[in-house]
Amino acid sequence: GVPCVIDCPLGPALLFVKTSQGKEEGRRFYACSACRDRKDCNFFQWEDEKVSETRLAAREEYNRNHQPPFTHRQNVERYKNFVLLPLSKKVLEFHQWLLPAEWEKHSDHQFLCDISSAQLKSPSQLLYPLENKKTNAQYLFADRSCQFLLDLITGLGFRRVLSVGTPRLHEMIQSKASQEDFRVRSLLLDIDFRYSQFYTEDEFCHYNMFNHYFFGGEAARETCRKFLYQDSGERVIMVTDPPFGGLVEALASSFKKLMAMWKDTEKEGHNNQEMPVFWIFPYFFESRILEFFPSFSMMDYQVDYDNHALYKHGKTGRRQSPVRIFTNLTPSMIVLPVEEGYRFCTICQRYVSSGNQHCEICNSCTSKDGRRWKHCVLCKKCVKPSWFHCKNCNCCALQNHTCEKTDAVCFVCGKAGHKRSTCPSLSHT
Ligand code: SAH
Ligand code: ZN
Ligand code: ZN
Ligand code: ZN
Ligand code: ZN
């Protein structure tokens, strides 16, 4: 249900556990769901702590002061006035439209002027990215990847896209929707409230995906619910690209609630099906995601970004992106571009990257990072090409790794530094 207490400006806090070394049970505390940096949100409270009236009042005051200057409805009205202005009067101050009457007040700030209608259709490019803040890390899809996603979605026959933290995809759909013959619609759920200056309340909901919080309350929740209702067979898919530093558990719990919302929109319960989902996330989170969503599988497609210094492909050829698509759709339906080197493995029944070789022993295409992996008979699995089997650790690792250290002493020889299973005295007998 709707929480009656809002702990911080980003909605209800989440319960965390602080574990100290050696202790089994940690002390539990509430902290902001989205900001892991105490500089960004200072909300903190021990689970068993009694909060005084004065502190509650101070908290409410703080939350009031950290609300956006205008409501979504006000922003929509402002936008209507803004589009009517002549080009030379279209001014954006970092994060916000300025109407002519407000210019004076903000004259010492940095402005962007002469905003064209093409720019207005591409807010993700126009708005100053919030990439410095861990909380709002905004990494925009490269055009190629965004186009690929959209083609894939439409090719699969979807007509509605719930875009959770994918403003770039949302705007691509929005701008195509003004053309003929394009029947796909999108609803953006995002924590970046600046989008309320571009989209109506039917196109954007201010939403926190770490605690499934709709800032717009029941009305916004209803907008989302209506959008998820598939009338006349207009199939819905959810596409999400959360910040990678986010807590997988919190994200999974929110996504389950969105999936439940979809399920509840139809009495028959969609024949026990799940709402189709694309969760875009780095491959090294595979086991975490599968833990929460056993029906998901990871696709080999490498999602590329524009403003991601680390992951974008440079001039000297393509740098590998670690970001993948996790989906509950049948893998064979996810067709990857052959011209980018992907091929179909008939045994695995899915598209794989060119370097991904089918391993006869594992009976699957085992590479996670696109490079050709090798099978280790001792580990009984495929490992990265740069790894070697270390006798000491009893597993594969980089050649120059430091062998696994444990604080406890070995049960067999009583010495520290290794476990019973890897005791050197055993390997000689
Ligand atoms: N690649 C995507 C953008 C991903 S960046 C695209 O090009 O469309 C992550 C997005 O998630 C950003 O839009 C950011 O504003 C949003 N976001 C970050 N934290 C969030 C939260 N707690 N709740 C909802 N959205 C969040
Ligand atoms: Zn295979
Ligand atoms: Zn193998
Ligand atoms: Zn090995
Ligand atoms: Zn080792």
**Bridge partners for 239 per DSSP:** 163, 278
| Domain ranges across the chain | 7-66, 72-115, 143-354, 375-426
Closest CA to 308 of 137, 194, 163: 137
The residue with tokens 């490269």 is 142
Phi-psi group of 126: left, alpha or beta (phi > 0 → left; psi -120 to 50 → alpha; rest → beta): alpha
Ligand 1 atom with the shortest distance to the CA of 305: 1
Paired tokens of 424: 């050197």
| CA of 32 relative to ligand 1 center, distance in Å | 17
* pLDDT for the residue numbered 316: 42
Ligand 1 atom with the shortest distance to the CA of 10: 22
Nearest CA to ligand 1 atom 5: 138
| CA of 325 relative to ligand 3 center, distance in Å | 22
* pLDDT for the residue numbered 429: 31
> Cβ(228)–Cβ(261) under 8 Å?
yes
Ligand 1 pocket: which of 10, 174, 191 to mutate (most atoms within 8 A of CB) = 191
Phi and psi at residue 41, in whole multiples of 5°?
-150, 120
* pLDDT for the residue numbered 7: 72
CATH code for the structural domain at 143-354 = 3.40.50
Closest CA to 30 of 53, 5, 54: 5
* pLDDT for the residue numbered 315: 42
| CA of 355 relative to ligand 4 center, distance in Å | 21
Judged by its nearest atom, the ligand closest to the C-alpha of residue 205 is: 1
Closest CA to 329 of 298, 369, 366: 298
pLDDT along the chain (429 residues), means of 10: 54 74 72 73 82 85 81 88 80 68 64 73 77 64 95 96 97 87 93 90 95 93 93 88 88 97 77 90 95 97 76 51 96 96 96 95 94 95 95 90 68 64 55
